[in-house]
Structure 1
Amino acid sequence: MSIKRSYISSPALTFAILCIGLGCIVAATLKQNLAIAGLVAALPALLCILILHLRKPERFLFLLFIFNYFFTPLARYSRQDGLSILSDIIWWSVLLIIIVQTALHYRFPWKRAVNILTIGGAVLAVYCLMEVVNPTASLEAWIYSRGFIYNTFLVSLITVLLATSYKQISRLIFLFSILTLIAILKGLCQKFIGFDAVEYNAMMESGMYKTHLLPQITRYFSIFTDAGNYGSNMGFTCALFGIAGLFSKKSSLKVYYFSISALSLYSMFITGTRGAIVVPLGSLLLFALISKNIKLMSAAAVGGICIYVFFAFTYVGESNYMIRRMRTAFRPNKDASYLVRKQNQKKLAEYLRNRPFGEGLGLGGVEARRFGSRLTTTIPNDSTYVKIWTETGVVGILLYLLIYAGSLLWGCYCIMFKIRNDELRHLLTALACGIFGMMLSAYGNAFFTQFPTGIMCRY
């Protein structure tokens, strides 16, 4: 006797999923949860993207880069709490996919994972995990800062496994150029049209208006967390695309990259972030050291000296407030905010003298005031390194600096003596110089661990 097997036909299954999806959208809309409604509506497209990326996992690198770059505006406009958890899920899911595909005999260059940044990131992760037992630590603040624990390890590991060729790196930089243009356009819209309602309310609610809506100047932040983050990133893209354009063989690409570099420089100035000028200057300094080309080294050195002399020893353009404000970065002893910052650092040094492991993870920034840290409510800081020093102590900041400085030095050594492909070497030179400038700027601005910079610089 034959047995009839019942099954659900493909059209029936599709119709059932469609009905369920529509029901979820209607329910979310009625509850005025538009973020969930949008997510459900986007699920079919997301599933298609996932399937395509599973066939070529290296494409995840571009997807992750785009998501990270637009994370801040996504959070700002959706006004949804807990989106950082979504970021965690996406990053760890990609790593899980890589592991599963490795088990299914997809070849990934796991040997490349043995490098200073990835291994150092693992050590830093262990150290930060142990911070939970710090006597002055807050468990809530520690959980809130979970990204700092594993981001260095996670991002560097995924990047070395997926970015395996010159073609991928060049495509990633070209994608970055498009994203940079979007950020520049948004910054120009803020300047010439004004802040929209969401941005204005965000400044009012967070207290950003105190530092961004000044009597003499308005500081613009585009799609970034704040003007300091935006300004330093524009300094980075100014250097990156300036150097990339210099070495580009295609005249059209050369003009395109030089145009983005010039627009980035202008955007850096409209942020009013004084410390951002260090990024292109630091980039020029490193470029002069590692280019191994006498003409380029001389031109970079002369250019850097001219910029420094212009700001430090002349008053040309003093009538322009943006130039006048940027000039104060070269005369720190006459800058009131710099003097206050140095006094705060002295107080922190005294406070942390008997705390080699710091106050506790998540208790070193302005956002940590919600956790009741006596230190951050009385002694603020405006630097990434000071923030890390406050949270993890002298042990943590030394470990952090050794990892990043060691990675940069090793990268420069490889660029100078190991990489034979000229096109790849030029792109990596541009990246290394830009990141060096960002690392210098991080001393004066607390942006290096924020979205999108914190993850972007680990690529």
Structure 2
Amino acid sequence: MSIKRSYISSPTLTFAILCIGLGCIVAATLRQNLAIAALVAVLPALLCILILHLRKPERFIFLLFIFNYFFTPLARYSRQDGLSVLSDVIWWSVLLIIIIQTALRYRFPWKQAANILTIGGAALAVYCLMEVVNPTASLEAWIYSRGFIYNTFLVSLITVLLATSYKQIGRLMFLFSLLTLIAILKGFWQKFIGFDAIEYDVLMESGMYKTHLLPQITRYFSIFTDAGNYGSNMGFTCVLFGITGLFSKKPGLKTYYLCVSALSLYSMFTTGTRGAIVVPLGGLLLFALISKNIRLMSAATVGGICIYVFFAFTYAGESNYMIRRMRTAFRPNKDASYLVRKQNRQKLAEYLRNKPFGEGLGLGGVEARRFGNRLTTTIPNDSTYVKIWTETGIVGIILYLLIYAGSLLWGCYYIMFKVRNDELRHLLTALACGVFGMMLSAYGNAFFTQFPTGIMMIMFLGILMNGKYIDERLTIEKQQALLTATKKDSTL
């Protein structure tokens, strides 16, 4: 007796799924829920991308980078609450995929996770978890600050496991340059055409208009959270692509990166962020120290001195308000804003004198007023380090600085004395110089833990931590290529 197997043909199943999806889109559109309609529409493409990346999980690093970079405009224009939860889900899901792939015998360099940044990130996570029992802490504020608790550990671990080759890092830098150009173009749009309706609403509703719509200058913020974040990032890309372009062996790529660097420098000035000038200056300083090239060291030193003298001791270009505003960063004692910040820090120092563990996560800055009225929520955050000090105390800020400064110093040591491949050394040098400038600028601006900066800096530090592994792989690849070429020549 023969048994007939009933089945639904593949074309029939596909047609049914398409009809269901189309029906969901129509229903969501009729209910004016465009976010759900868009999600259903792009779901097939997202599933295809996921399947392709499961075969080569290293590609997840590019998707994570893009999502993080555009998180702020996504939240701004979608007007959807809880997107930070989506970010958490995506990052933890990628880590889960890596663990599953490891169980399925996919090779990841887990040994490289034993580095200052990842281990330090785990220690920071434990310390921040314990902050929940701080007598002055707020559970709601602590939950709201969950990203600060585990981002250093999570992002550095994923970066070390996925960013494993020189070609991959080179592609990531090129992708970053394209994203930077998008941000620059959006900044130009704001400057020459104006803010759109949503951006204007954000300025009004958040109170940003007080610091961005000034009588003599408008401070542009592009796709970033604010002008301070945008300006510092443009200073970072100026350093990163300036050094990368300087050492690039391909004429076309050299010209392209140097142009991106120049546009970034101009965009930095349009933000009116005075502390952002520290980023390229800090990058030049570190470049002069670790390049080990007398000519480059001399040129970087002379360039840095000239920039400092121009802003600190001359009045050239004083008629230009952007230059005049930047110049106040070099003459802080004459700047009213700096004097107010200094007074605020003195108040905080007195208040936190007997609080070595701080006020509690999420309780620093005026934006934390919704969690309660106290001194720390009446003083604006004008520094990332002051914010961390306020929330986690002297113990927390020391731990944080040891992790990040230690990671950067380790990376610089390896660049100077251990890297054998010049092309990798130049790329790591550009990253280290840019990150150093950003860490200096974070003293005067509270941007270092915001989107997209916070995660980007951890990723770039993670790449520095992986420098040894990438260098060894690149050396082996070169030896194999040389051996293959030798065999071909011998057969001819």
With the length of structure 1 as denominator, give the TM-score of the two structures. Answer: 0.97
Aligned to 1:353: 353
Aligned to 1:457: none
Deviation at 1:28, TM superposition (A): 2.1
Offset from partner CA, 1:294-331 (integer Å, 9 cap, x none): 11011100100000000000000000000000000000
Offset from partner CA, 1:170-225 (integer Å, 9 cap, x none): 11001000000000000001000000111111111111111000000000000000
- Specify the SS of the correspondent of 2:354: coil
Offset from partner CA, 1:222-252 (integer Å, 9 cap, x none): 0000000000000000001110011011111
Offset from partner CA, 1:394-426 (integer Å, 9 cap, x none): 111000000000000000001111111100010
Unaligned runs of 5+ in 1: 454-459
Deviation at 1:365, TM superposition (A): 2.8
Deviation at 1:133, TM superposition (A): 1.1
Deviates more, 1:370-379 or 1:310-319: 370-379
Offset from partner CA, 1:253-299 (integer Å, 9 cap, x none): 11111101110000000000000000000000000000010110111
Deviation at 1:40, TM superposition (A): 1.1
Deviation at 1:381, TM superposition (A): 2.5
Aligned equivalents of 2:23 and 2:361: distance in 1? Answer: 42
Q: Is the 8 A contact 1:57 1:162 kept in 2?
A: yes
Residues 366/32 of structure 1: CA separation in 2 closer, same or farther (3 Å cut): farther
Deviates more, 1:19-28 or 1:439-448: 19-28
Deviation at 1:428, TM superposition (A): 0.4
- Specify the SS of the correspondent of 1:419: coil
Aligned equivalents of 2:300 and 2:386: distance in 1? Answer: 30
* Alignment root-mean-square deviation, CA: 1.0
Aligned to 1:332: 332
- Specify the SS of the correspondent of 1:20: helix
Aligned equivalents of 2:113 and 2:6: distance in 1? Answer: 49
Unaligned runs of 5+ in 2: 454-492
Offset from partner CA, 1:416-453 (integer Å, 9 cap, x none): 11111100010000000000000000000000000000
Deviates more, 1:405-414 or 1:365-374: 365-374
Q: Is the 8 A contact 1:381 1:387 kept in 2?
A: yes
Q: How many residues align?
A: 453
Q: Is the 8 A contact 2:365 2:378 kept in 1?
A: no
Residues 366/19 of structure 1: CA separation in 2 closer, same or farther (3 Å cut): farther
Deviation at 1:100, TM superposition (A): 0.4
Aligned equivalents of 1:419 and 1:54: distance in 2? Answer: 31
Q: Is the 8 A contact 1:363 1:373 kept in 2?
A: no
- Specify the SS of the correspondent of 1:337: helix
Q: Does 1:285 align with 2:261?
A: no
Deviates more, 1:439-448 or 1:27-36: 27-36
Offset from partner CA, 1:358-386 (integer Å, 9 cap, x none): 11111113321211141233222211000
Aligned equivalents of 1:79 and 1:381: distance in 2? Answer: 25
Aligned to 2:489: none
Offset from partner CA, 1:89-116 (integer Å, 9 cap, x none): 1111111111100000000011111100
Q: Does 1:197 align with 2:197?
A: yes
Offset from partner CA, 1:2-36 (integer Å, 9 cap, x none): 44443333223222322332232223222322112
Aligned equivalents of 2:378 and 2:70: distance in 1? Answer: 33
Aligned to 1:37: 37
Aligned equivalents of 2:269 and 2:101: distance in 1? Answer: 46
- Specify the SS of the correspondent of 1:84: helix
Q: Is the 8 A contact 1:383 1:446 kept in 2?
A: yes
Deviation at 1:56, TM superposition (A): 0.8
Aligned equivalents of 2:186 and 2:269: distance in 1? Answer: 15
Question: % of aligned pairs identical?
Answer: 91
Q: Is the 8 A contact 1:238 1:260 kept in 2?
A: yes
With the length of structure 2 as denominator, give the TM-score of the two structures. Answer: 0.91
Aligned pairs for 1:226-375 within 5 A? 226-375=226-375
Residues 250/27 of structure 1: CA separation in 2 closer, same or farther (3 Å cut): same
Offset from partner CA, 1:23-57 (integer Å, 9 cap, x none): 32223222322112111111000001101111111
Q: Is the 8 A contact 2:141 2:362 kept in 1?
A: yes
Aligned equivalents of 2:133 and 2:97: distance in 1? Answer: 32
Deviates more, 1:21-30 or 1:271-280: 21-30
Offset from partner CA, 1:98-138 (integer Å, 9 cap, x none): 11000000000111111000000011011111111111111
Aligned equivalents of 2:359 and 2:181: distance in 1? Answer: 40
Q: Is the 8 A contact 1:285 1:301 kept in 2?
A: yes
Aligned equivalents of 1:177 and 1:333: distance in 2? Answer: 37
Q: Is the 8 A contact 2:71 2:451 kept in 1?
A: yes
Q: Is the 8 A contact 1:347 1:379 kept in 2?
A: no
Q: Is the 8 A contact 1:341 1:381 kept in 2?
A: no
Aligned equivalents of 1:390 and 1:19: distance in 2? Answer: 55
Aligned equivalents of 1:386 and 1:84: distance in 2? Answer: 23
